[in-house]
């Protein structure tokens, strides 16, 4: 069961294509002919959005892992 949950979470991070631009950025970048700048801005926004989630998730995992290690040593 845990493997399915982990796979679902990872698949959402890697396979979910979303459009993460504000309305003003989209309007300015859509007027450009070659959409390479728009793709770069969208990738940058997605990168900036993902980093805090990864950091918080890592800290949460470390705290969770430490809690279970101490619990096993007590038994």
Q: Residue-wise pLDDT tens for the chain (75 aa)?
A: 788 788 777 777 765 555 555 677 667 667 767 677 777 777 888 888 889 999 999 999 999 888 887 666 555
- What residue spans of the chain are helical by DSSP H? 2-15, 23-30, 36-74
C-alpha torsion sign, points 58, 62, 67, 73: positive
Cβ atoms 29, 19 nearer than 8 A: no
8 A C-beta contact, residue 21 and residue 47: no
* The model's pTM: 0.47
Alpha-carbon gap, residue 61 to 55, rounded angstroms: 10
């Amino acid at each position: 069961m845990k493997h399915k949950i982990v796979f679902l979470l990872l698949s959402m991070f890697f396979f979910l294509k979303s459009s993460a631009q504000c309305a003003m950025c989209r309007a300015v970048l859509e007027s450009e002919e070659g959409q390479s700048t728009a793709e770069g801005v969208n990738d940058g926004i997605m990168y900036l959005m993902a980093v805090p989630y990864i950091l918080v998730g890592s800290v949460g995992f470390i705290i969770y892992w430490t809690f279970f290690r101490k619990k096993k040593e007590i038994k």
